[in-house]
């Protein structure tokens, strides 16, 4: 574990962040007493699976046959005079 004063941390923050990301405990001290520990943040959530995509696909709104596509609708709305 490495300990660094607030002044040292301020001057070397990028390096200390890299060390923390590699798993090294980094402690910042104030007046010689530990006050803050830098550590990597664990990612939240999970990866999107094929089951997730299928669930979304089953629930999305699909245009009726013969109606204009969503792209065409947006283009038409963009180009119309909305005054």
Q: How many domains would you assign to the chain?
A: 2
pLDDT in tens, 1-30: 899 999 999 999 999 999 999 999 999 999
The model's pTM: 0.51
Predicted pLDDT of residue 10: 94
Predicted local confidence at residue 30, as pLDDT: 95
Q: List, for residues 30-61, the tens digit of each pLDDT value.
A: 999 999 999 998 888 889 999 999 999 999 88
Is residue 54 included in any domain, yes or no?
yes
Distances (CA, A) of 4 to 56, 60, 75, 83: 49, 53, 58, 62
- Residue 10 sits in the same domain as residue 34: yes
Domain residue limits at 32: 2-38
Question: What pLDDT band is residue 83 in, cutting at 50, 70 and 90?
Answer: low
> DSSP secondary structure string, the chain?
-EEEEHHHHHHTHHHHHHHHHTT--EEEEETTEEEEEE-PPPPPS----HHHHHHHHHHS--PPTTSPPHHHHHHHHHHS---
């Amino acid at each position: 574990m490495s300990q660094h004063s607030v002044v040292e941390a301020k001057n070397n923050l990028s390096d200390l962040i890299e060390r923390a990301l590699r798993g090294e405990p980094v402690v910042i001290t104030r007046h010689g007493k530990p006050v803050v520990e830098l550590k990597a943040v664990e990612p939240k959530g999970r990866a999107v699976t094929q089951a997730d995509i299928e669930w979304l696909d089953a629930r999305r709104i699909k245009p009726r046959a013969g109606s204009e596509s969503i792209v065409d609708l947006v283009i038409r709305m963009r180009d119309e005079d909305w005054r």
